[in-house]
Amino acid sequence: MEGRNDIITRINERYAAMSKGQKAIAAFLTEHSEQAAFMTAARMGQTLKLSESTVVRFAVGLGYKGYPQMQEALASLVKGRLHQAEPLEEKYGGVSRSEVLQSVLESDMEKIRHTALHLDPAAFDTAVDLILGARTVYVLGVRSCEPLAEFLCFYLRLIRGSVVQIKTSSASEIIEQMLRIDERDCIVGISFPRYSMRTLKAMEFANDRNAKVVTLTDSVHSPMNLYSSCNLLARSDMVSLVDSLVAPLSVLNALVVALCLKQPEQVRRNMKLLEDAWDNYQISGNDEINFINESMLEDSPAEEPV
């Protein structure tokens, strides 16, 4: 019996070589697998404005004997998700709450240690330079990765101007928000298994426009790396239905600190503008943020943006 993520793995492995129509099918299967599992090839073709034969050939191209076999794989995937809580019960059933806490914290610490050992320092430095040198920085993360994108954007806006967080549930709307991206811009894409096809399409679009592409993902084998200028890798294993995003968040935290230290004077000016605005418009909240320890900025020499 196939692993329940097998069809997604096959799609990811073949995505770069797919035609436009095949990529549309791949996106639909990935984003709407529950619906697709109960559709005939003809119905799926109608939905995507493709021929039935194109859908059937897609299934064969993934290595299945035909569409029915691919549909079985989809059904297995959907069924597997419904039972994702079972491994959680097997691992933690019968243990106390404090033991669960200790186990999860230790697991997260291991992921941070693994990330610290394997993250490429050159890629990290490149990401800092690309973000500082870009005209506009776009950031995209969907589903469980959206809070990571929100976190990065919040701090980027305090460091530099022209930061856009792409927020949508539609692939077409993503492209609309990126319509003016070009070689002067940078996009940071964040995605972990199960990889978002929407995010992957955005990376492909940015790459086609010659924009700089930075990815935060889990592995050199991630399809996110197909279109990236540099890859930041952070360990993120799934414990049943719960994603561990502690290591990716730590990488983003380090990225923010490195960006601040790269141009401390700009950060000071931005913080002064923010505090003045709070005072001028009587906004209560200027005591709610301590962006970065001032001594860190004072001890580091100012550098010009790349």
Complete domains list, the chain, with CATH: 6-82 (1.10.10.10), 111-154+163-260 (3.40.50.10490)
Give 179-184's long-range contacts (Cβ < 8 A, gap of 24+): 181/136, 181/138, 181/205, 181/206, 181/209, 181/211, 182/209, 182/210, 182/211, 183/209, 183/210, 183/211, 183/212, 184/134, 184/135, 184/136, 184/211
Q: What is the pLDDT of residue 3?
A: 41
- Structural element, H or E, at residue 276: helix 264-280
Q: What is the pLDDT of residue 221?
A: 78
Cα–Cα distance, 287 to 44 (Å, whole number): 55
Q: What is the pLDDT of residue 268?
A: 80
- Give yes or no for a contact between 165 and 153, defined as CB atoms under 8 angstroms apart: yes
Q: What is the pLDDT of residue 68?
A: 92
Stretches in the chain below the pLDDT threshold 70: 1-5, 80-98, 169, 237-243, 281-306
Cα–Cα distance, 89 to 102 (Å, whole number): 16
